[in-house]
């Protein structure tokens, strides 16, 4: 449970005992706790989101960085929801938005140790949860098809490839950055969306 620092520390201790040190940390655990508007959402939902999505990352960095050698890399999986408004996902979006500050602050504080810290902000990813048919997933898929430059969700392997790059020695001068991997959703209106708007105006 990444929300419990004692459990995180115990897991790190086991890893170090087995391997001597840790070179790469990927903060990937996360929860989406509710599907309510800010007027109806509960404090409990916000606290749960921040405990896992935000404090979980803080715990990871706090427990792992001390055993990392120079040249190591920390990558946090954030979300496009951290950069845009996310109707009915306020707790999730807020907890992910906080990770940008965690990433940049950690990057500056850990630079003297030779540790790089970055985050990846994916758009919609085809996962088991996103194949569930839940109402918010249907809305997300419709948005991606209409507004995304490629008109599809990303595959998990495509996000993993970006993480692999950030963990590699090929980007020794990249730290404190948010790498958006959203298939062009935040680049601007897609041709498909513009065509649909024009078609709607002509009806």
Measured distance CA(111)–CA(107) in Å, rounded: 6
Q: Are 95 and 32 in contact (CB under 8 A)?
A: no
- In angstroms, rounded to a whole number, what is the distance separating the alpha carbons of residues 87 and 194? 22
3-state secondary structure of 87: coil
Q: What is the C-alpha separation between 41 and 88, in angstroms, rounded?
A: 9
Bridge partner list, 73: 24, 116
Residue 76 CA to residue 166 CA, distance in Å, equals 10
* Residue 35 burial class via C-beta count within 10 angstroms: exposed 0-12, middle 13-18, buried 19 and up: middle
Active site residues: 92
């Amino acid at each position: 449970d990444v929300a419990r620092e004692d459990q995180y520390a115990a897991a790190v201790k086991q890893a170090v005992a087995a391997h001597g040190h840790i070179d790469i940390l990927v903060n990937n655990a996360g929860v989406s706790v509710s599907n309510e508007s800010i007027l109806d959402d509960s404090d409990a939902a916000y606290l749960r989101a921040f405990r896992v999505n935000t404090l979980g990352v803080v715990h990871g960095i706090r427990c792992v960085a001390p055993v990392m050698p120079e040249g190591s890399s920390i990558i946090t999986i954030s979300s496009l929801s951290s950069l845009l408004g996310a109707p009915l996902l306020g707790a999730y979006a807020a907890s992910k938005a906080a990770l940008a500050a965690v990433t940049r602050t950690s990057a500056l504080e850990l630079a003297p140790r030779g540790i790089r810290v970055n985050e990846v902000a994916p758009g919609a990813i085809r996962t088991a949860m996103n194949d569930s048919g839940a109402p918010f997933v249907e809305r997300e898929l419709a948005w991606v098809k209409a507004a995304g430059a490629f008109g599809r969700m990303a595959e998990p392997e495509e996000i993993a490839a970006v993480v692999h790059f950030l963990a590699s020695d090929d980007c020794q001068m990249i730290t404190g950055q948010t790498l958006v991997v959203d298939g062009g959703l935040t680049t601007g209106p897609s041709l498909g969306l513009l065509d649909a708007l024009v078609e709607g105006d002509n009806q």
